[in-house]
Amino acid sequence: MIALVTGGYRGIGLGIATALSRDGYQVVITGRRDRSETYPVLESLSKNGAEAEYVQADVSNAADRQRLVETVEKRFGRLDVLVNNAGIAPRVRADVLDATEESFNELISVNLKGPYFLTQTVAKWMIRQRQADSSYRGCIINVSSISGTVASVSRGDYCISKAGIAMATKLWVVRLAEFGIDVYEIRPGIIETDMTKIVKGKYDALIEGDLLLEKRWGTPADIGKAAAMLARGDLPYASGSVLSLDGGLTVARL
């Protein structure tokens, strides 16, 4: 079985790629960096017993998206799981009163437009696979964020991009249901990654307080376990489900 994980070189994406490789998936990861920088990660994934490949691709670029899918099809001949994980934070955290169109356009292009149209291309391929083999089961997992529902006025562009992913998940699950292709959303909370290093002190203090019910940072491995469960089909009769892995942050409390 083959899984494609965008942004799978580090952080949450690597946590997902690792969990899938342990389940026997041959994993293709993507990113913007040069392939030469990915050898240690590919070696680590391959130690789990399954082949790992890297394709340099920017999901916000239409030509890159097309080349990525064509490369996977040429190399493996099939694709069972797509994980739309690639995403960026704003280069500068700016109040919504001061935010720039440049930042907004960049965030929407990478975090929302890219996965939306990559899903479109992959879904058409998955449909062809299903039509050729009725036992084929495709699975698409969108990684969003609690920022899609919890307002953060210093990252409005990021919040809007992730809210868009939540709606995209609903759209794709409705459209692809007739083809037996499951679509899910994983909504992480405060996860310890390179992206969150710059706010570690702030969140360490909040976690020590009463922000979370589970008083710890989430880890990429936490997200990886959830993605692997969905990919395996361990959550039947639940296509379109949203898994909030946030330590209880968004649980309403008095």
The two three-digit tokens of residue 43, written as one number: 């070696």
Alpha-carbon gap, residue 238 to 141, rounded angstroms: 13
Each domain of the chain, given as residue ranges in start order, spans 2-245
Model pLDDT, residue 36? 87
**Could you read off the pLDDT of 140-154 as tens digits, one per residue?**
999 999 999 999 999
70 vs 197 pLDDT, higher one: 70
With cut-offs at 50, 70 and 90, classify the pLDDT of residue 111.
very high
Q: Which helix (H) or strand (E) holds 188?
A: strand 182-188
Q: Is 89 a residue whose pLDDT tops 80? A: yes
Residue 33 has pLDDT above 80, yes or no: yes
DSSP summary character for residue 17: H
CATH topology of domain 2-245: Rossmann fold (3.40.50)
Least confident of 28-37, 116-125, 129-138, 201-210: 201-210
CA distance 78 to 88: 28
158 is catalytic: yes
Question: Of 116, 158, 203, 237, which is the active-site residue?
Answer: 158
pLDDT at 196: 78
* pLDDT value for 49: 85
- Residue 195 clears pLDDT 80, i.e. is over it: no
Q: Give the pLDDT band (50/70/90) at residue 202.
A: confident
Local confidence band at 198 (pLDDT 50, 70, 90 cut-offs): confident
Residue 86: enclosing H or E segment and its boundaries?
Answer: none
pLDDT of 109 strictly over 80: yes
Q: What is the pLDDT of residue 188?
A: 97
